[in-house]
Structures are given as C-alpha cells and as structure tokens.
Structure 1
C-alpha cells in the first residue's frame, strides 16, 4: 500500500474513534447476537478485536508478540481502550518503518498498519451493524480503508477470512465497496 503514513494514521485514528464509540454503547444483552462476520457473535468479535488491537499496538511499537492465545472475555470498554491505544501507537511515523511482528509472523510495518485499518473498519462496522449503531467515517477514511481491503483481499479469501466479493455498483460509496470486497453485504441487518 503506497499510502503515506500520515494518511493511513489519520484513517486508523478515525476508525478507532468510531470503534470506541460503538463498543462503548454495547449492552450485555447484545453479547450473544450474531454479526455480519458469520463466525462471530458480538462477544466473540469483541474477544477477537481486543486481541488483534493489542497485537497491533505491539506491532506499531516493534515489540515482540507473546506466545500462546490471549485471554478471552474482552469487555466492550476494553475494546474501546485498545482501539485508542492502537491508534496512538500508529501515530509515531517510525511505526511504519521496517518490519514488525503481527498476526502470523513478521511482515512489513506498512502492511501491519493496513491490516490494522482493515480490522478497525470492517469489524467496527460488524459491531455497529450487529448492535444497531451507525459506523460513521469520512469518505476520505473510507477510501483509505478500501485500499487496505484491496491490498489484503486475495490472501484473506485464500485463508478463509473473507468470503467471495459481493457485487456493488462502481459508483457506490467507497465504504460500501470496501465491505463488498471483503465479502460483506453492505445492506446486512440484524
């Protein structure tokens, strides 16, 4: 992804703020609800999200990732805080330099940032839709998210993380195109 780090960080920050706002409003009675990401309930998505965002902040700071799975039971408040910490960690221009450990292993730091943005945007939307909230980001952030989704879509489909792309109009908003490229139906509702 050839997006300047300042543009990518701005989109990460905007999506992190939207995730924090969404997560902060999740009620206990919504934790068992389904999400657009078929393999996750709201609670399971919060667990995944919390683990990924903590890992992302470590990746931005070039810290090693711990061995073994993270603890489950991530609260909505913890996800909101993790989103803010990840965005803060990616605010340092040095975070985008060289390589770092993230997810399955070592990768270019810029790719780890793109994956962070994709996670914030796609799973943030998943949480918002599942809990009846709006995931509001600017068209600029949506275009950067579309680029991040495009960068990882092929590998994500091969590994089963994305479903087949959903057809949408070429003049659809950038965020709808990003959702569709990730295999999500932009019209999904609980």
Structure 2
C-alpha cells in the first residue's frame, strides 16, 4: 500500500506525457473504454479528479450540481486543469501517509489505500487508454506494471461489480506483466484504434 507511494510520480509522468500529445483532432477518437471517446475520457478525469484529491486529503467530497455524464469540463484549458490536478495528486499520494487509515470517496468510507489504488490505476490504465486512442507510445516501468497487476487481481471482482473494470480479457501465456494487468482490468492489450 504505502510502498506504492513511490510509484505515483513515475506513473503520473508518463500519463502527463500522453496528455501533452493530444490535439483537438484527437478528441473524437475512440478509446479502449467502449463508452468513452478521448473527450469523454478527459471529462471523466476532470470530473473525478477533485473527488480523488478530497479523499487523499481525508476531506469532504466536492459539492457537485450534476453527474459525470451531464458535465462538460473539457474546455480550452483542459490540459492545464488535468496537469494541475495530477501534480496535486502526486503530492498527496506520493506521501505514504495518504495511503494509511480510512477516508471517504463520494461519502462512502473506505481504506485510504483503496483511493491510492484508484489514483495509480487512473494514471496507468487511462494513460494507456489515451495513448492507444491517439497512437502514442506508452511506457510503464516494471515496478509500476507489477503494482497495477497486483492491484487489478486484488480488487478485480469488486471493481467489476462496480462497473469500474470490464470483464477480464484473456491474454497469451507470453504476455508481459503490464499486458496481464490490462487484461485483468478488462482491457484488450491488442486493442487497435
């Protein structure tokens, strides 16, 4: 759990590099997340980022007037907004204390480590989703790949029941650790745009 704190910054760096490669023309591109194109996935990140940050601070969730589907948060400054949120999440979850004890997410009490898992997953899995959608390279350090694979195995059933992960995707026997993590999270490592 708290040992994952050191993985947040490198995962966020790769995630941010992908974000910087997204152009206006890419916003309508489909992603491996069937319900999201690039714009909708960016909207998802912008919508849930404040919730993750509040949970990391062990503070009350943000007040919202509409749900994710009704929100349109991808304005002209979307990149700066996500980069700023990412930097704050790195600061919070890069510290072992954020992974300890209890917090709430959307009013639901849960272990703080679970929110840390969500942050790492957002950076790695959604970073891959976005990179795949725009045809960009996505590099995952071996220790980060091992961590997200272990997380996907640990929380997979719960995440699937909450519709956070899709049904597990079978991968070849010679699949890399990261490809196994993708499959465990319901993603097809061989997905093509």
Of 37-46 and 143-152, deviating more is: 143-152
Counterpart in the other structure of 1:57: 53
What secondary structure is seen at the aligned counterpart in 1 of 2:60? coil
Contact 2:9 2:90 (C-alpha < 8 Å) held by counterparts: yes
Q: How does 1:1-190 map to 2 (within 5 A)?
A: 3=1, 5=2, 7-68=3-64, 69=66, 71-74=71-74, 75-103=78-106, 105-190=108-193
Of 147-156 and 106-115, deviating more is: 147-156
Residue 170 (structure 1) shift: 4.3
Of 165-174 and 107-116, deviating more is: 165-174
**TM-score calculated relative to the size of structure 1:** 0.90
Q: Residues of 1 paired with 2:56 and 2:8: CA distance? A: 12
Please list every run of at least 4 consecutive aligned residues from structure 1 whose deviation after the TM superposition is greater than 3 angstroms: none
Q: Residues of 2 paired with 1:104 and 1:26: CA distance? A: 33
**TM-score calculated relative to the size of structure 2:** 0.88
Residue 11 (structure 1) shift: 1.8
Distance of aligned partners of 1:104 and 1:42 in 2 relative to their CA distance in 1, 3 Å threshold: farther
Contact 2:46 2:73 (C-alpha < 8 Å) held by counterparts: no
Q: Residues of 1 paired with 2:83 and 2:132: CA distance? A: 16
The runs of 5 or more residues in structure 2 that have no matched partner are none
Provide the alpha-carbon RMSD of the alignment.
1.7
- In the alignment of these two chains, the number of paired residues is 186
Q: Residues of 2 paired with 1:103 and 1:177: CA distance? A: 30
Contact 2:145 2:177 (C-alpha < 8 Å) held by counterparts: yes
Contact 2:11 2:123 (C-alpha < 8 Å) held by counterparts: yes
